[in-house]
Each structure stands twice: as structure tokens, then as C-alpha cells.
Structure 1
Amino acid sequence: MILFPASELRPVLVEARTLACRVILVKDHGVYMMSEKSSPSRVTSRNGESRLIAYAVGCNPETVPFDEWWSLACTEFGGDDFAEYIDHDAAIFDRVIDDGWNLEIRADEHHLYLDVVLRDA
């Protein structure tokens, strides 16, 4: 199971809804979610990228050693990199945005399962 805290994910979801674009779940250098488009007002980084990113707990390569985040990502999603596009209006995102619930993602070889879980007290 991969967990996205609402506090991290909410800005990404709000951006995707504001820009009317999909949300992308990505597994490559970490596991993260981002909006398909980015706000034109966002400051651009040195490499030309301008993305608001929410990393899954334990899957941020900037804060977690490679072997740890890679193992967690591969355990849940396998070894291949991927990008999965999700509609920004998915009802499950309402619970994250409006109620502050965390998003949990599980996978098997055919499907992704998204669920919300009560936020930490």
C-alpha cells in the first residue's frame, strides 16, 4: 500500500481541478502525483520544469535512501516505470480536498485501487 497524505496531495488536486486537467500517478524516480498541466504563475526551475509534486510516504528520492523507496515502490507496483492518468473530478478526490483524508493506493497486476483513509489525529 502506498499512502499520499492529504496535506501534500491537496495542492496537486486543486491545481488539476483549477486547470481542468488530469492527475498523473507516476512511478519512476520515486512515486508521486502531479497535475497534467502546471499553473502559468508557478516559478520555473533551472531545468525548465514547473511542477507541483506530491510524493507518496517513503517514496521521495530526495529524503529517502534509494534502496528503501525503490523497494517500497517495487513491492506495490512492480519494477517497471509508469504513468497512470486519473480524472481530476474523481469523487474520491473530494474527500482529500474537502475533508483532509489521506489517499491510499494498492495495486495488483491488473488494477489500481484508490481509497481514502482517515487522516492522522
Structure 2
Amino acid sequence: MEEFIMIHFLASDLLPVISEARTRQCRIALVKDHGVYMLSEKGEMENGRRRVIAWAVECNPDTVPFDNWWERARAEFGGDDFVEYLDGDAAAFDRVIAEGADLQIEADAGYLYINAVATRS
């Protein structure tokens, strides 16, 4: 039986990203490189970096030890870095806004599964 590992994004972190993407009428990028995070495809820069970023709880290099976030990201998404573009108007993002739902993401060889879930306590 295959074990599923999930990555979570908190609604409070995602709201500014969703708002920026909808305001700029662009997609939301899910990125795996130095951690796992989401950001608006077109966003404001500050000191050469994107100003608005939502880190995955389990893969935030600022709060999780390197070996832990790196292994979690590799286990869920594989070893290669990537960017996957998501529709900023997707129903899951609507639930983040309307209900304060968090997002849960899991992946297999061909698909990303993105679900809005009750806020984690």
C-alpha cells in the first residue's frame, strides 16, 4: 500500500497570494526548489525577491530544519525542482477566501491533488 504524504498551506498565508493573483488576473505558481511555496505568477518585488509568498507548513526553510523539509518535499514531489501553474480562480481557492480553509496538496506520478480542508488546529 502506497503511503500518501500531504503538504499543507495555511489559509492565512494563502489569502495574500490569492488576492494578488486575482487582482493581477494571473495564475498561482506552486514551486518546489528551496522549499515548497505558492506565489502569484505576476507579483510585487521587494529587495529582488517576491514580496508575497505562502510557504508549505512542512517545507518552509525558515522554520523547518533542512533535512526535514528537503526529505518531505522529495517524498511528495520527487527530486527535481518544478513550477506548476494553477488557476487562481479555482474552487479550492474560493474556499480559502470564503471559509478560511487551508489547502492540502498531494501528488502522484501524473497528478496534483489540491483540496480545501478545515483549518488545522
TM superposition score normalised by structure 2: 0.91
Query: After TM superposition, where is structure 1 displaced by more than 6 Å over at least 4 residues in a row?
Result: none
What residue number does 2:58 align with?
58
Letter in 2 for 1:87: D
Partner of 2:30: 25
Answer whether contact 1:4 1:54 (CA < 8 A) is retained: yes
What is the percent sequence identity of the aligned residues? 59
Question: What residue is the counterpart of 2:114 in the other structure?
Answer: 114
Distance 1:31 1:21 in 2: 20
**Residue pair 1:4, 1:102 contacting (<8 A) in 2 also:** yes
Is the 1:34–1:51 contact (alpha carbons within 8 Å) kept by the matching residues of 2? no
Shift of 1:120: 3.3
Residue 6 (str. 1) matches residue 11 (str. 2): yes
TM-score (norm: length of structure 1): 0.91
Structure 2 counterpart SS, 1:84: strand
Alpha-carbon separation, structure 1, partners of 2:76 and 2:120: 22
Paired with 2:25 and 2:79, the residues of 1 have a C-alpha distance of 31
Which structure 1 segments of 5+ residues have no match?
A: none
Secondary structure of 1:12 counterpart: helix
Structure 1 position 51, deviation (Å): 3.0
| Residue identity opposite 1:120 in structure 2 | R
Measured in 1, the distance between the counterparts of 2:39 and 2:15 equals 10
Distance 1:50 1:72 in 2: 24
Distance in 1 (CA, whole Å) between partners of 2:74 and 2:98 is 31
Query: Number of residue pairs matched?
Result: 116
> What RMSD, in angstroms, separates the aligned Cα atoms of the two structures?
1.2
